[in-house]
Chain A
């Protein structure tokens, strides 16, 4: 995918819409990233951490039973097997290394499903840093397991009570906290949103998903599919296939579908497609998956969507729950509710013109479902 312009734009999207208080921090992060990314020693350290600590490369698993049932060849890129249970660790290990390089002693993060919070708490423990994680009250209630994990790892979890009490408001609070702690703290943003350079930086750190998958697939798949919240696992996956003929498909939650229902807007420091009302007030998203319960989407997705290189679809909570069960029973894999969005689209589209019989599909399973057991226990028969 493309390198953003000097002002951090992908086409008309992106940018750096932050208060002057944060501009020097964003500029310093960009400089540090450019410097680190050109430094073989940085890549070497990151590669070692990925292998020895995070357990990469993750497997590429053929979903044999489902493939036979659906009439497509379904290959699963197993980010659920990465340390801490999701792709979020890829991003956080890179950002923690950068933060250390910049002399920061503290990580501030926002989290929805808690997977990014757990990854941040993990990296902070590993690097001997302090971690403060902002999480909406509603998400704290539905992702309790991850709150315990973060606290056990030594992170401070701060409940956010404003607005929708989900990821949107946790992101606001984390950015406000960053303003007050910018000297000592790195804002460890969890997806491909936020002010420049975050969308680019996070995509480059998640690129490992797509590159590994590309090397692991015997053929270029016809379709590459991943779920989209902010869009980081999808961006990382797409990055490995954007230069191939593969169709790129991002799957959103029907209640949090910024690519499908959003309009151009500015929120959380970047310009993209945003769910908003006619007056420009940001709407509250609604999804059974806390990690997809977010009204915006990364600017590069907005660009890929408006240029037609990637396509975006939505699935409902009901389809998602069905997908979790189908995957569990046919393959022995309990995936995260977020990841199940991608599975749900394949289940629906297989055998239709959207995904013709005989297609090869590469699907990123962004995380495992342990965190969702309380929700699933109530919903899956």
Chain B
């Protein structure tokens, strides 16, 4: 089945859990929960506004995880937290192996708790299954990867259209849960058409991994989602849904919105056996 992972900014409204449940009822296979950050490097206007709105409401990692914990019995699909490095490495005095700079440390080390180990444990305790951190590329991922594994969290790695073959293979090897194919050389945000870079990236990824490949960034309509899902194994829908929430759409409205994406993907599922054009792509699979 083609996967549908819609995105929701944690804490965007007081009743944000209702949107999450609506996504689930509409047939989402998993939900990406954005843990809002003040300076989201890879997000366009809509997700920035969603993050700002949540932060202005006073949403924090702690409050979002508390809300999720309280709703745990009603959530039956995996949740993936998406956030930025500063929240993950927060307050941690050693980003790498202990550096040879212990002498003369100033008064900066006041936090008692922090680091990716504690962060991943908190996610696991709240029932979160996976983690996506767009500004932690392969080169910086070692410690977070180990921390996630120790906490039983799937660290989902991202790949971009410009990622060279050797890195793509390593991302394929080290990602857990699925691979997030960033389908376009741009930030998140709605687009008129699926980027031309989307399908080739999905094909390259499918040639190097057996993990599901989910395409995200700029997928704005059910038709675009169907096209993307033909190239990969599913889609992440972010800005198109968050714009609706920012505009005041209700959880019921979003249920209908997500259901339309679901229907488009189900359609793709049915056409797969009769789609010889894609044989060449699956031919690359291991």
Contacts and interface: CB of A to CB of B under 8 A. Distances in A.
B263 interface: no
Contacts of B167: 20, 23
Contact of A7 (B48, B105, B139): B139
Identify the interface centre among B44, B91, B158: most chain A CB within 10 Å of its CB: B91
Contacts of B104: 306-308
B96 interface: yes
Interface string A1-29: 00000010101110111111101110000
A180 B134 CA distance: 15
Contacts of A154: none
Interface stretch (A85-93, A261-269, A353-361, A365-373): A261-269
B101 A20 contact: no
Contacts of A168: 39
A258 B87 CA distance: 17
Contacts of B160: 19-21, 23
Nearest to A303: B101
Interface in B149-176: 158-164, 167, 171
B86 A19 contact: no
Contacts of A267: 39, 86
A276 interface: yes
B55 A281 contact: yes
Contacts of B135: 17-19, 266, 269
Contacts of B103: 307-308
A357 B136 CA distance: 49
Interface of B: 37-44, 48, 52, 55, 60-62, 84-87, 89-96, 99-101, 103-106, 108-111, 134-140, 158-164, 167, 171, 182, 185-187
Contacts of B100: 11
Contact of A265 (B61, B89, B162): B89
A280 B162 contact: no
Contact of B39 (A19, A179, A282): A282
21 contacts: A11-B99, A11-B100, A15-B139, A16-B137, A19-B41, A20-B160, A21-B162, A21-B185, A23-B139, A25-B162, A162-B48, A172-B40, A175-B41, A180-B186, A263-B108, A263-B110, A264-B92, A264-B108, A281-B37, A306-B105, A307-B101
Contact of A306 (B38, B55, B106): B106
Contacts of A179: 42, 185-187
B101 to A, nearest CB: 4
A264 B185 CA distance: 30
Given A179-B42, A279-B61, A12 B96 contact: yes
Top 9 A-B residue pairs of the complex, sorted by shortest distance between their CB atoms: A308-B104, A280-B90, A266-B85, A21-B160, A11-B101, A20-B160, A12-B99, A281-B38, A180-B186
Contacts of B55: 281
Given A12-B93, A20-B167, 11 more contacts: A9-B99, A19-B135, A19-B158, A20-B137, A21-B182, A23-B163, A162-B52, A168-B39, A263-B109, A271-B95, A281-B38
A48 interface: no
A172 B39 contact: yes
Nearest to A23: B137
A19 B44 CA distance: 14
Contacts of A163: 38-39, 52
A34 interface: no
Contacts of B161: 21
A23 B136 CA distance: 10
Given A11-B101, A182-B162, A17 B140 contact: yes
A269 B101 CA distance: 22
Nearest to B61: A279
Contacts of B109: 263-264
Contacts of B106: 305-306
A24 B42 contact: no
Contacts of B95: 12-13, 15, 264, 271
B137 A18 contact: yes
Contacts of A43: none
A274 interface: yes
A350 to B, nearest CB: 25
A13 to B, nearest CB: 8
A15 B62 CA distance: 27
A268 B60 contact: no
A303 B101 CA distance: 8
B162 to A, nearest CB: 5
A86 to B, nearest CB: 26
B158 A20 contact: yes
Contacts of A175: 41
Nearest to B93: A264
Contacts of B105: 306
B96 A9 contact: yes
A141 B171 CA distance: 45
A20 B163 contact: yes
A280 B108 CA distance: 14
Contact of B91 (A16, A20, A25, A280): A280
A252 to B, nearest CB: 13
A345 B48 CA distance: 38
A118 interface: no
A169 to B, nearest CB: 8
Contact of A20 (B37, B41, B85, B159): B159
A262 B111 CA distance: 12
A209 B89 CA distance: 35
Contacts of A264: 89, 91-93, 95, 108-109
A176 interface: yes
A270 to B, nearest CB: 10
Contacts of A172: 39-41
Contacts of A15: 95, 139-140
A267 B89 CA distance: 11
A307 B104 CA distance: 5
A172 B41 CA distance: 6
